Amino acid sequence: MSSNLQPRTPALQSKFPAMGTNIFTIMSALAAEKDAVNLGQGFPDFACDPKLVQAVTDAMTRGLNQYPPMTGVAPLREAISAKVEAIYGRRYDPVAEITVTAGATQAILTAILSVVRPGDEVVVLEPCYDSYVPNIELAGGVAVRVPLTPGSFRPDFDKIGAALGPKTRAIVINSPHNPSGTVWSEADMLRLQELVAPTETLLISDEVYEHMVFDGAQHQSAARFPGLAARAFIVSSFGKTYHVTGWKVGYVAAPAPLTAEFRKVHQFNVFTVNTPVQYGLAAYMADPKPYLELPAFYQRKRDLFRQGLQRTRFKVLPSEGTYFQCVDISQVSQLGEADFCQWLTREIGVAAIPLSAFYGNGFDQRVVRFCFAKKDVTLNLALDRLARL
């Protein structure tokens, strides 16, 4: 072998040449550097129920540590089926219509890869979670961005209807909505059902915050509406519901023909999800109390945080669901959203996320997002600092 040959990494063409580090990583790193209260990234800073940890520990101790079925362990799929039927009135066959996933993000990617072909269009409603568009592009699809109504973040069905065409393969919706906290109404879902009925458009319904709906309202799952359920991949997240975001376990419920295609991709990108956590979740789900009480749990935190924000010059926007609170910064600063979040972290010691990060064109409407899935002491510390504004 010639000694003149030097090690060389071959050149490649990036699939995402314009993509850098995402805003959540940037703001969390800055929050850590400045010892700021991190209300940016959406995860709890409190522990889950010890009973859930014990249920997983028991499964490990029983030796349930080898590969489970590709679709998920039967007790968990059966528990999911029973929960969805009890709450939303639609039964999904746990054998043919429910798949356990490695979190909701993997579920959404897999759903898109399973049905979107090169050149297909997929409608996304902005602002939206940052994985949707890259997922579509990985599948060779074209994201068709439709804005939610600025300020209210409600769906504009005239614009949605205009975006649906012969190339539309799917539409992605998210309610309760990250980042705005808006919750779709029954009338919204019925209007969507009417729009897609004459089309071949599939629905990917991101419902990870399904158990965080406030003020006595109901979550309007696509499962409640026969015309939507028949064409929908419904995605949910145990991480969000049970305060264990790092476990990365979710599920997809979909009609058998859609599930069959979903599983063809699922088996080759993750194959399956860790066994003891699945059994632990199945055992824990025998008691519905934790998720039935979740709306009241987070509404109390929302109200505490909103009351504290009254001491600031922020305009507090509605938060109908999720664990996010958006505020208008117009009366606080002349900075744009991204610069304001940097300033707020450095100078005030509280991290937030600019809503512009959830738009493809960086649309800046002077709104930032806080996460209130935190201990009361964390929220109160942040509020004391924000009161200086």
Domains with residue ranges and CATH for the chain: 23-42+292-386 (3.90.1150.10), 50-286 (3.40.640.10)
Strands 250-253 and 232-237: antiparallel
Nearest to 236 by CA among 100, 88, 56, 41: 100
* Average pLDDT, integer, range 338-350: 97
232-252 mean pLDDT: 98
Question: How is 96-136 classified by DSSP, letter by letter?
Answer: TSEEEESHHHHHHHHHHHHH--TT-EEEEEES--TTHHHHH
Task: Tell me how crowded residue 76 is: count the other CB atoms within 10 A of its CB.
Answer: 27
Contact 110, 131 (CB under 8 A): no
Rounded Cα gap, residues 262 and 256, in angstroms: 10
3-state secondary structure (DSSP) of residue 320 = coil
Residue 23 C-alpha from the chain's centroid: 15
Least confident of 2-6, 48-52, 61-65, 307-311: 2-6
Per-residue confidence (pLDDT) for residue 3, from 0 to 100: 64
Query: What's the average model confidence in pLDDT over 215-235?
Result: 98
pLDDT at site 246 = 96
Quickly state the pLDDT bin for 21 (edges 50, 70, 90). Answer: confident
Whether residue 152 has pLDDT greater than 70:
yes
